[in-house]
Each structure stands twice: as C-alpha cells, then as structure tokens.
A and B are shown apart, each in its own frame.
Chain A
Amino acid sequence: MYLQSLDPRVTRLHLPEGDMPPMEAKPALDQFETYEAFHQKKEGAAHTYVGPVHAPNEEVAFLFAKEQYSRRFPCVGLWVVRTAHIQVTPYAGDSENIYDMLRIEAPAEPSAEAVPYEIFHLKKRGKAHTHAGRVLATSYQEALQEARKAFGDKGPIVNVWIVKSKDVLQSAEEDKDMWTTIPEKKYRDAIAYKVMDKITKFKEEQKNNIAP
C-alpha cells in the first residue's frame, strides 16, 4: 500500500507506507559550494553582506541570492562571490582596529600587474560586512596594505574581507527592473492586514446582540 495523506498530491507521490531503510548519507558536495551575497539597499549605498547561498556556479548563485536576499525588501544591486575567493583576516574585538593588530608585510618586488580588489569591513561583531572601497594591488597581501592606507583609520574595524574585483559577479544597471515588482506585492507586508477594524466591528455587534 502507498502512504495515504490528507493532501492528495502527497498520496499521488505513491510513497511506500511503513518504515523505510535509512537513507544513505548524502555525498560531499551534494549541496554544492557556497557563495557569499552582498546587497545594495538603495542607490549610492554601500553593498552590505547578507549571507551565503549554496549553488553549482556563479550564475545560479546569483539567482538563488536574488530569491533569498532580495525577494522581500527594497534592493537595487546584488553581488555574489565564491566563498573560496574571499581572503579573511582574524577577528578583533569591538573596540579594536584589526589593521593595527596585524603585521602586514610589504610584498617584495611586485611581479604581477596591479589589479582591482574589493575591500569589506566589519565594524561590529554580529553586524554585517560592508563594502569599504576598491584598491589596486598585485596580491591579497598588498591589497590589505593598500586598504589600511585608504580606509584603515576609520574607527574600530573588527574584520576585513578581500576579494579580487574580477571574482565578484555584480548585477548590472540594466538588471535593476528585476526588483521593480517588490512594492506591488503588498500582501507580503504586515501593514496590509488591518485586523483592528474587523475586531472592533465584531465587538460592537456582540454588544448589540446581547443588549436587551
């Protein structure tokens, strides 16, 4: 016999009834690699870290990040980066500046050509990394050094992420219409549900019914 459910769609799956043997453990990478996503809330705002997604490649990661992180609230831009492409410093305390605590070695003879890197700062533990800006460098190490010069003196900085600009998949100007439907979907906003009026009216009616 098949499993019978209240939901006819489940019944139609023809699932075996009764105990099933344990499922074999999922193999490594069944859920793919991870990518980190950054969103831009409004024009001109810095891109801010929103969280990871699992995806088989950059394009799918972008699609998943768009659904996961920009489905509900205003968004005008989205970046995704393969987690493996991000270099991370150790974490400092909330009142410290990690740049002051690291011995950042100057690279010997820069051999490669300088390329752009994106720098993200975490200002407070538990908050989100925010885009600080872009530097030109020949290595991650040099990028860190350049980042310190350019942005390193702005109060406490708990943690720094560094990524080559070429490794960031960015939404383009002409992609922005993908977010235009967000304000139309009012039924997803708490404010669209005005229950107080209904409750008040109901209570009035009850009072009138009970009154002799």
Chain B
Amino acid sequence: MYGGGNVFEATKFDDLQAEDPVKLAEFEARIAGGEKIEPTDWMPELYRKQLIRMIEQHAHSEIIGALPEGTWITRAPGFRRKMAQMAKVQDEVGHAQLLYSAAETLGKSREQMLTDLINGKSKYSNVFNYPAFTWADSNIISWLIDAGAIVNQMANAKGSYGPYARALERICAEEAFHLKYGHDAVVHMATGTPTQRAMIQAALNRWWGPIMTFFGPSDKMSTHTETLMRWKVKMASNDECRQQFLDMYVPKIWELGLTVPDPKLKKNPETGQWEYTEPDWEEFKRVINGDGPCNAERLAVRRTAEERGAWVRRALLNPKAQYVRPLA
C-alpha cells in the first residue's frame, strides 16, 4: 500500500551547478541507457534527497496504513477473512521494512526515519488520517486505496534506483492478493442484502474524497520536475496516475450498481480524460499538516509501540554491534 501524492518541492539542491559536470553527464547517460543506479554509484544530491524523501514516505505509509486495517482483524466476519486480513496487514508491515532498507542505502538511518515519522517531520499518505468506521470502510481501503497504491508502485518500479526497484518488485507481487481480496470483499457486500449494499455505498461515499486526493495535487511542471522525470525518480505525473486509476476502477464500481458521489464524474469521449469535481485541496493541506480526524491517534499508537518496545531492543543489543549500511 502506498501513500502517493508526493509533492516534490523545489529545494536548494534545485540547481545542479554545484555538481561535477563530468560525473553528472556519466550519471545521466547511464539512466538514459536504461541502466539502474546502485547505492555506491556517484549521484547528484538532488537525486539522493528526493529518493530518500519519496521512499521514506512510502515506507511510513505502509506502516501507518496497517493501523486502520489492523483494527479490523479481530472483528472481521469469519475465520477466513480474519486470516486474510492478518496476512495483508503483515504484508504491509513487511513492505515498510523493505522500503526503510531501500531508503537506508541512500544514507538515512532507520532510527532517524522513525524519529522523523513520530515527530511529524516526515509525512505518510494522507488517506490514513481518516477513520475506518465499519467493516465496509476496511473493504474500501483494501480494494481502492490498494488499487491506487498499485498504480503508483507499478510506475515507480520502473524507476532508476536499483534498491527501490527491487523492493517494489516484491511488493507488487504481494499486492496482487490484496487487490483481489479487497475486490472480493466489496463484491460480497455489493451483491448481498440491502443492508450490506447500503453499508458499502456509505463507505465508498466517505472514502471518495480521500481517494481522489490520494495521488496528490496536479504537479507544477517546473524544470525541477522535468529533471526528476529525466532521472526516472518521478515516473508519472500525479494527474496521469489519477486518470489511470479512474480508468481502471470507476467501471468496476459502476458494474456493481454502486454510485460515485461526484455528479461531475464522467469520461470525456473526445479527450479520453476523466472529468471530475476538483478535490478539496484545502482540506488535504489541512489534514496532511496534522489537523485530520486520526493524525494524533496514528502517531500516538506508533510512538507507544516504539517507546514500550525500547527496553526489549536495549536488552537485545550486542554491545559490540557496529552499524554498516545495508548493501543493496
């Protein structure tokens, strides 16, 4: 599961004039030739910073995304669903570990990443700041949030950084089950009793807003964005991802007789593009900056797990241990 919606801010690394022109040319030629970059290769500071930021946010989204779904393990209807939900949540936490390691190869320690998550310095996908009120909410997350994540991840898996591409390959393989599991759960509700149908429709109505903001606001096309696209860090624009998602999933929602709570939503037959009500980006900004219904709870739960487990980690620590960055 992935928190998309990366906002690639211009930073002071934006100008590449400080970089060695010969090394930069070699680096760009390697990427243009379709080769991956590996951790010990020379890379521009901008490439390193943006990848750390992006992979780290992705990792945080996996670990925080496990919380609203984890809530539903004990209350999932039936033993089989409990086991499947548990397997899915376990996968998500595993994905976080894979991603933290990929970011770590770029030089940011896992200790620092977890500290930054808990102190609100690093972000995670904004959708997880919303509550999962019912089992149907959990189903919508499993299907449509994961579907959005897969759109993002499939694009990023073709990126230029070796460790991230390797992690995403494994993640995408595991996500295939999540998507089908989520779809199956939604289909079960949507084809069930009137009460079940009403439940899943209500959940869809609650989640449509967050889902539409999932891929982030339209990118400002700057030279900065062009550079990141040329370096295969950013593989598709936020709008491209959103369009692809709508293309793949709106028909699947409609075929179940469910409605999407946006009267403007339609595919323009001439442009081939989906038209929709512009999502509430003010709310998006407000929530991502901490003022959402679940921000405080998510971070408090994560922090408590860290703090209450600290003594176990201290007890296990080998005094002779010496940190070495993971290799790949």
Which positions in A face B, CB cutoff 8 Å? Answer: 3, 5-7, 9-10, 13, 15-20, 22-23, 25-34, 36, 49-54, 56-57, 60, 67-68, 71-73, 83-84, 86, 88, 90-91, 93-94, 125-129, 158-159, 161, 185, 187-195, 198-199, 201-203, 206
Is the CB–CB distance between A51 and B180 below 8 Å? no
Known A23-B115, A202-B256; contact A188-B84, beta-carbon cutoff 8 A: yes
Bound CA–CA A203/B251 (angstroms): 14
Known A31-B110, A54-B110, A84-B324; contact A90-B115, beta-carbon cutoff 8 A: no
9 nearest A-B pairs in the assembled complex, by CB-CB distance: A126-B36, A52-B326, A26-B111, A56-B316, A125-B36, A193-B180, A193-B184, A202-B191, A190-B180
Q: What is the minimal beta-carbon distance from B251 to any residue of chain A, in angstroms?
A: 12
Is the CB–CB distance between A51 and B167 below 8 Å? yes
Q: What is the minimal beta-carbon distance from A207 to any residue of chain B, in angstroms?
A: 11
Q: Other than the known A20-B300, A51-B101, what 5 A-B pairs have Cβ atoms closer than 8 Å? A: A3-B300, A54-B97, A187-B84, A195-B184, A206-B257
B255 within 8 A of A: yes
Most B-side CB within 10 Å, residue of A23, A25, A73: A23
Is the CB–CB distance between B322 and A128 below 8 Å? no
Is the CB–CB distance between A51 and B166 below 8 Å? yes
B265 within 8 A of A: no
Across the interface, A25 reaches (CB within 8 A) one of B80, B115, B255, namely: B115
Q: Is the interface of B mostly helix, strand, loop or mixed?
A: helix
Is the CB–CB distance between B97 and A53 below 8 Å? yes
Known A126-B36, A188-B177; contact A33-B324, beta-carbon cutoff 8 A: yes
Is the CB–CB distance between B94 and A68 below 8 Å? yes
Q: What is the minimal beta-carbon distance from A108 to any residue of chain B, in angstroms?
A: 28
Q: Which residues of B contact A60 (CB under 8 A)?
A: 316
Binds A, one of B14-22, B210-218, B305-313: B305-313
Q: What is the minimal beta-carbon distance from A155 to any residue of chain B, in angstroms?
A: 16
Closest to B105 in A: A52
Which positions in B face A, CB cutoff 8 Å? Answer: 30, 33, 35-38, 40-41, 71, 74, 80, 83-84, 87, 90-91, 94, 97-98, 101, 104, 109-112, 114-115, 118-119, 131-133, 162, 165-167, 170, 173-174, 176-177, 179-181, 183-184, 187-188, 190-191, 255-257, 296-297, 300-301, 303-304, 306-307, 310, 313, 316-318, 321-328
Bound CA–CA A80/B36 (angstroms): 25
Q: Which residues of B contact A50 (CB under 8 A)?
A: 170
Known A26-B111, A187-B83; contact A195-B183, beta-carbon cutoff 8 A: yes
Q: Which residues of B contact A72 (CB under 8 A)?
A: 91, 173-174
Bound CA–CA A28/B180 (angstroms): 41
Bound CA–CA A185/B35 (angstroms): 37
Is the CB–CB distance between B167 and A188 below 8 Å? no
Bound CA–CA A201/B255 (angstroms): 12
Q: Which residues of A contact B38 (CB under 8 A)?
A: 91, 125-126, 158-159
Across the interface, B94 reaches (CB within 8 A) one of A22, A27, A57, A71, namely: A71
Is the CB–CB distance between A10 and B87 below 8 Å? no
Bound CA–CA A60/B35 (angstroms): 35
Q: What is the minimal beta-carbon distance from A169 to any residue of chain B, in angstroms?
A: 15
Is the CB–CB distance between A36 and B327 below 8 Å? yes
Q: What is the minimal beta-carbon distance from A98 to any residue of chain B, in angstroms?
A: 12
Is the CB–CB distance between A193 and B181 below 8 Å? yes
Closest to B84 in A: A187
Bound CA–CA A88/B324 (angstroms): 13
Is the CB–CB distance between B316 and A36 below 8 Å? no
Q: Which residues of B contact A189 (CB under 8 A)?
A: 177
Is the CB–CB distance between B316 and A32 below 8 Å? yes
Known A56-B321, A72-B91; contact A129-B300, beta-carbon cutoff 8 A: no
Q: Which residues of A contact B318 (CB under 8 A)?
A: 33, 56-57
Across the interface, A71 reaches (CB within 8 A) one of B74, B90, B162, namely: B90
Bound CA–CA A211/B1 (angstroms): 42
Q: What is the minimal beta-carbon distance from A52 to any residue of chain B, in angstroms?
A: 4
Between A and B, 21 residue pairs with Cβ closer than 8 Å are A7-B71, A27-B111, A29-B111, A30-B313, A31-B109, A34-B325, A34-B326, A50-B170, A60-B316, A86-B327, A90-B40, A125-B35, A126-B35, A128-B328, A187-B83, A190-B179, A198-B188, A199-B187, A202-B190, A202-B256, A206-B257
